[in-house]
Amino acid sequence: MERKIDFEALYPVGLDNFNGEVLGEVRPVLLICLSEGASLEKQLSEVEKVHLAYQPSLKVCLLKEDFLGAFMDRYLVRGTPTFLIFLNGEERQRLLGKSNYQDLQQFIKQALPELTSDIS
């Protein structure tokens, strides 16, 4: 049986709420730049595992498709998927390319060593 991804766990971010949801957030933010395509479901499944492991300490946001191009231009993102960590309104680190849970967890540990996961 195929499991449905909990999109409600991922904050959708667009032009209308980027400043508040990402730049104004007090928690660290993992922002996902992911275009619709064949790997969308697989990547979101891996991201959901990260969300479950780090909630409520890490906010996970997904760029809305209609904001993706403008965001990529503004932040010089050259491809998708790209994962960015924001802290205190500033980009701290980014990871380009398809990633599994272990890759994402290592990325988070490197960018945010003070953050702990509930799952190893």
Query: 18-25 long-range contacts, Cβ below 8 Å, gap at least 24?
Result: 18/67, 18/71, 21/59, 21/61, 22/61, 22/86, 22/89, 23/86, 23/89, 24/89, 25/59, 25/86
- Asked if the model's pLDDT at residue 118 lies above 70, the reply is no
Domain membership of residue 5 (yes or no) is: no
Domain membership of residue 4 (yes or no) is: no
Domain membership of residue 101 (yes or no) is: yes
pLDDT classification of 35: cutoffs 50, 70, 90: confident
Q: What integer is the mean pLDDT of 18-30?
A: 96
Domain membership of residue 103 (yes or no) is: yes
Q: For all residues of the chain together, what is the average pLDDT?
A: 89
pLDDT classification of 36: cutoffs 50, 70, 90: confident
Q: What percent of the chain has pLDDT over 70?
A: 89
pLDDT at residue 3, as a whole number: 44
- Asked if the model's pLDDT at residue 78 lies above 70, the reply is yes
Here the CATH number for the domain that contains residue 71 is: 3.40.30.10
Q: Work out the number of other CB atoms within 10 angstroms of the CB of residue 118.
A: 9
Q: What is the pTM of this model?
A: 0.89
pLDDT at residue 2, as a whole number: 45
Q: What integer is the mean pLDDT of 40-53?
A: 89
Number of domains observed in the structure of the chain: 1
